[in-house]
Amino acid sequence: MSRRARALMLTLALIATPLAACGGEDGLVIYSGRNEALVGGVIEQLEKATGVEVTVRYGSTGEMAAQLLEEGDGTDADLFFAQDAGALGAVSDLLADLPADVLALAPEEYRADNGRWVATSARARVVAYDPAKVAEADLPGSLDDVVDPKWKGKIGFAPTNGSWQAFVTSIRVIKGEDYAKQWLAKFAANEPQRFENNVAILTAINDGQLPVGLINHYYWYAKVAELGKDAVKAKLHYVGGGDPLGLVNVAGVGVLAGNDQNDAAQKAVRFLLSEQAQRYFADETAEYPVAPGVASTKHDLPPLSELNGPDIDLSKLSTLQETLALLQEAGLS
């Protein structure tokens, strides 16, 4: 399949939004699938720490991956900063091999099998819920529970969100294509409520408009930091037992091959795995640091080692185009 065809498939399930750029034409060019509100601060720190002038083009991770595939070897991007491992894997052919000393900054499970991307932070899929409407003991504890008819019309999801698409990819990888297709058909039949993003899902739950939603954990911590714990009615349920419903995914970076800013790009990757940047993710975005020895001083997160998510090779989340085709077939794109 051509890069252009793959790019078109990647964009089928996405709602187009303007792609914003900042900075000048010189220096390091980053295509960021991470929201500016989340990572703008750490990119400012990157500029100061490395002395490298940075231009950032922001969009959804899917949009940025599609853009890279469309541009191919002619891209102006030097670095791809992605929301999930699947998008990094989808553009892997365009990425350069990372040096061994850079890869060694993160544990083996948080870097690509082929050495072309490395994680910068981790996040868990969780079930957010309104305790006034649902008792924690009654919440879904597995994929099969989610599609129980008792949840018809009561579960929120964000169909164009990269983390949702990576979650569905993990179902395909872990459970197989047939199971994933059947699960999506059942999920669609349950008439889940669609939202633009994880923030909108959590807001609806907190406002008493939605009983349950499928989101990433750190959105809840951001709301608590903003409003105070007493003002946040929504709660989180972590699904263990190795079920895909508790997938632990990563954000990460890769360096575009053939760019003329390789040294600057390598500096940027090293910075994003430095103690300073890892503490930013831990304290400012409430994500899990991937560098050993760094923990949040602001958020009381359950230890990553205790989440008991599914055993999955994150490099295998790269088959995003197949996931998008299944979502479109199920009417969930």
Alpha-carbon gap, residue 171 to 310, rounded angstroms: 10
Residue 2: pLDDT over 80: no
Q: CATH homologous superfamily for 3-122+250-301?
A: Periplasmic binding protein-like II (3.40.190.10)
Give the pLDDT of residue 295: 86
Query: How far apart are alpha carbons 101 and 87 in whole angstroms?
Result: 23
For 240-287, the pLDDT digits (tens) are 899 999 999 999 999 999 877 888 999 999 999 999 999 999 999 999
Neighbours of 248 (CB within 10 A): 20
Res 7 pLDDT > 60: no
Q: What type of residue is 288?
A: Y
Provide mean pLDDT across the span 12-28. 45
Looking at the DSSP assignment, which residues form a beta bridge with residue 216?
Answer: 125
In this prediction, residue 135 has a pLDDT band, given cuts at 50, 70 and 90, of very high
Please state, in angstroms and rounded to a whole number, the distance separating the CA atoms of residues 333 and 330.
Answer: 8
Note whether 265 and 78 are within 8 A (CB): yes
In the chain, what are the domain boundaries? 3-122+250-301, 123-247
The predicted model scores a pTM of 0.86
Average pLDDT over residues 323-332: 94
- The whole-number average pLDDT for the span 98-112 is 94
Percent of the chain with pLDDT over 90: 78
Average pLDDT over residues 111-122: 96
Q: In percent, how much of the chain has pLDDT > 70?
A: 92
Q: What is the mean pLDDT of residues 235-241?
A: 94
CB 219 within 8 A of CB 59: no
Q: Does the pLDDT value for residue 99 go beyond 50? A: yes
**Confidence label for 1 from pLDDT (cuts 50, 70 and 90):** very low
Quickly state the pLDDT bin for 204 (edges 50, 70, 90): very high
Question: According to CATH, what is the number of the domain 123-247?
Answer: 3.40.190.10
Do the domains 123-247 and 3-122+250-301 match in fold?
yes
State the pLDDT confidence band at 136, using cuts at 50, 70 and 90: very high
Predicted pLDDT at 26: 59
